[in-house]
Chain A
Amino acid sequence: MNLAIKAEPLKFKFFTPGVIVLSLLVLNGLVFAFFRFVLGIGAVTNLSQEYPWGIWIGIDVAAGVALAAGGFTTAALGHIFHREEYHLITRPALLTAMLGYTFVALGVVMDLGRYYNIWHVMIFWNGNSALFEVGICVMAYLSVLYIEFLPIVTERFMGRVNLPGLFARFNKGIDRFLRFLDGGLNRAMFFFIILGVVLSCLHQSSLGTLMMIAGPKIHPLWQTPIAPLLFLLSAIAVGFPMVIMESILASRSFGLKPEMHVLSKLARFIGPLLAVYLAFKIGDMVIRETFVYLTDLSLPSIMFIIELVVGFAIPLRIFLDRKALKSPSWIFLASVLVVFGVLLNRFNNFVIAYKPPVEAAAYFPSIGEISITVGFIALEVLLYRLFVRVFPIIGQPDLSHRPRTKFAIRGTQDIED
Chain B
Amino acid sequence: MKQSRRDFLKTAGILGAGLAGLAPKKALAAPKNVLSDDRMGVLVDTTLCIGCRRCEYACKVAHNLPSDPIESYNDRSVFAQKRRPDPSALTVVNEFENPVAGRAPINVKTQCRHCDYPACVSACIVGAFSKQENGAVIWDESKCIGCRYCLVACPFQVPTFEYEKALQPEIRKCDFCFERTREGKIPACVEICPMEVMKYGKRYELVELAHQRIKDNPGRYIDRVYGEYEVGGASWLYLASKEFEKLDFPELGPDPAPGASESLQHAIFAYFVPPMSLFALLGGIMWISKRSKESEEE
* Chain A positions near chain B (C-beta within 8 angstroms): 2, 37-43, 45, 47-50, 52-53, 76, 79-82, 84, 111-115, 117-118, 120-121, 123-133, 135-137, 190, 193-195, 197-198, 201-202, 205-206, 208-217, 225-226, 228-229, 232, 354, 356-358, 360, 412, 415-416
Contact = CB atoms under 8 A, between A and B. Distances in A.
B286 A190 contact: yes
Contacts of A213: 119, 122-123, 152-153, 257-258, 260-261
A190 B284 CA distance: 12
Contacts of A212: 260-261, 264
B50 interface: no
A228 B24 CA distance: 18
B161 A130 contact: no
A114 B282 CA distance: 38
Interface string B164-176: 1110110000000
Contact of A49 (B27, B84, B285): B84
B155 A126 contact: no
Contacts of A39: 164, 166
Interface centre among A47, A50, A84, A126 (most CB of B within 10 A): A126
17 contacts: A40-B162, A49-B161, A50-B84, A80-B282, A113-B144, A128-B121, A129-B127, A131-B147, A205-B17, A205-B19, A213-B260, A214-B152, A215-B252, A228-B268, A354-B152, A357-B248, A358-B248
Interface residues of B, number: 82
B286 A133 contact: no
A210 B152 CA distance: 10
A37 B293 CA distance: 53
B38 interface: no
Interface stretch (B28-36, B62-70, B195-203): B28-36
Q: Which 10 A-B residue pairings sit nearest by Cβ, starting from the closest? A: A113-B146, A127-B27, A42-B163, A229-B16, A127-B23, A205-B17, A52-B151, A82-B289, A126-B127, A52-B148
Contacts of B26: 127
B84 A360 contact: yes
Nearest to A114: B146
Interface in B1-60: 5, 8-9, 12-13, 15-31
Contacts, number: 255
A53 B265 contact: no
A80 B262 CA distance: 32
Main secondary structure of the interface of B (DSSP, over half): loop
Contacts of B283: 190, 194
A120 B142 CA distance: 10
Given A114-B168, A228-B268, A125 B30 contact: yes
Nearest to B141: A114
Interface string B242-279: 00000010111000011011101100110000010011
Contact of B169 (A113, A133, A211): A113
B79 interface: no
Contact of B126 (A121, A217, A228): A121
A111 B152 CA distance: 14
A206 B22 CA distance: 11
A416 B8 CA distance: 44
Contacts of A52: 148, 151-152, 161
Given A123-B29, A126-B126, A133-B21, 20 more contacts: A49-B157, A49-B160, A50-B84, A113-B161, A117-B144, A118-B145, A121-B125, A125-B29, A128-B262, A130-B265, A132-B23, A137-B22, A202-B22, A225-B5, A225-B264, A228-B17, A358-B84, A358-B157, A412-B286, A416-B293
Contacts of B119: 213, 215
Contacts of B161: 49, 52, 113
B169 A127 contact: no
A130 B149 CA distance: 10
B294 interface: yes
B125 A132 contact: yes
Nearest to B81: A360
B185 interface: no
Given A41-B163, A213-B261, A229 B17 contact: yes
Contacts of A43: 164, 166
B264 A201 contact: no
B265 A128 contact: yes
A305 B268 CA distance: 30
Contacts of B23: 125, 127-128, 132-133
Nearest to A124: B126
Contacts of A82: 286, 289-290, 293
A381 B25 CA distance: 42
A132 B121 CA distance: 12
Contact of B290 (A45, A127, A416): A416
A356 B9 contact: no
A229 B9 CA distance: 11
B146 to A, nearest CB: 2
A126 B29 contact: yes
A144 to B, nearest CB: 13
Nearest to B147: A112
Contact of B143 (A120, A133, A215, A229): A120
Given A81-B289, A124-B127, A112 B261 contact: no
B82 interface: yes
Interface in B99-156: 119, 121-128, 143-149, 151-153, 155-156
A47 B148 CA distance: 11
B123 A129 contact: yes
B191 interface: no
Nearest to B86: A49
Nearest to B144: A114
A136 B31 contact: no
A126 B27 contact: yes
Interface in B178-237: none
A121 B164 CA distance: 24
